[in-house]
Structure 1
Amino acid sequence: MSDGDHPTMSVAVRQENETTTVVTVQGEVDLLTARQLMDALEQVWLERPQVTCVVIDLSGVTFLGSSGLGVLADLAGRTTSHTPGGIGPAVRLVAPKDNDAVIRPWTTMNLQQILPLHEDVESALAAS
């Protein structure tokens, strides 16, 4: 989605249960919007200290640029599920197999080694 020459992205946050939050991302995650995504995720950490798992649903992402990849890879490296003494909750990513906008850059950069993608929110929730 574009508003003139400026890519747009929206982030919606919902509490799934006491310890799990689902963050739904729509639109383009690139140099201009990656910081917005990071800010939204950091707000989850700050406002919901009881959360032990964050599911990030990328099903509606239409473009995932290197800045967006960097934000997600950074999160994976900082979470408790991947780093001893990590600072945040476990992160689960969702991207359906038919979403090439996410799958292609994620697998090209071999990031599934540090943070695998789940087919849907339900399977990500089951893995937590």
Structure 2
Amino acid sequence: MELLITTERFEDAFIVRAKGEIDLGTVGQLDSALDAACDKVTPPMSVVADLTGITFLASSGLSSLVRTHERCAEQGTPLRVLVGNRSVRRGFEVTGLDQMLDIRDGT
């Protein structure tokens, strides 16, 4: 499956929307889009990873989000993650990343 990434900038947030599956073969696209988002925002803007269109999120995708969280935190930019799929949310819960990352219901 392929991954489709779109971005949109607002006054208060830079949104990275992903649709499809995030796995070892597609995580590079997510990394690139999130890195670009971090480069384009200044506090108090936030970076929003909209994963409501994601049907599968592998551990490589979770790692990408942790790296982005750390990078954004260094520059004082909040990262928010929108999740709309129960199985995707479960990945955050079983790893404890729902306690580290700002996970929100995107449905």
Same fold (TM over 0.5): yes
Q: 1:30, CA displacement in angstroms?
A: 0.7
Give, as a single letter, the amino acid of the residue that structure 2 aligns with 1:93: V
Ranges in structure 1 where 5+ consecutive residues have no aligned partner: 3-7, 81-85, 122-128
1:83 maps to none
SS in 2 for 1:61: strand
Q: How does 1:1-128 map to 2 (within 5 A)?
A: 2=1, 8-17=2-11, 19-46=12-39, 48-50=40-42, 52-80=45-73, 86-87=74-75, 89-96=77-84, 99-120=85-106
Query: Separation in 1 of the partners of 2:92 and 2:98?
Result: 7
Query: Separation in 1 of the partners of 2:41 and 2:10?
Result: 14
Query: Separation in 1 of the partners of 2:64 and 2:102?
Result: 15
Whether the 8 Å contact between 1:61 and 1:101 is mirrored in structure 2 is: no
Q: 1:29, CA displacement in angstroms?
A: 0.6
1 or 2 for the larger relative contact order (CA 8 Å, sep ≥6)?
2
Give, as a single letter, the amino acid of the residue that structure 1 aligns with 2:8: R
Q: 1:66, CA displacement in angstroms?
A: 0.8
Ranges in structure 2 where 5+ consecutive residues have no aligned partner: none
Give, as a single letter, the amino acid of the residue that structure 2 aligns with 1:44: A
Query: Separation in 2 of the partners of 1:102 and 1:59?
Result: 9
Give, as a single letter, the amino acid of the residue that structure 2 aligns with 1:33: T
- Count of matched residue pairs: 106
Give, as a single letter, the amino acid of the residue that structure 2 aligns with 1:91: L
Q: 1:88, CA displacement in angstroms?
A: 6.0
Identity %: 30
Larger radius of gyration: 1
The two structures, once aligned, show a CA RMSD in angstroms of 1.8
Query: Separation in 2 of the partners of 1:13 and 1:88?
Result: 21
Query: Separation in 2 of the partners of 1:35 and 1:101?
Result: 22
SS in 1 for 2:42: coil
Give, as a single letter, the amino acid of the residue that structure 2 aligns with 1:87: Q
Give, as a single letter, the amino acid of the residue that structure 1 aligns with 2:42: Q
Q: 1:33, CA displacement in angstroms?
A: 0.8
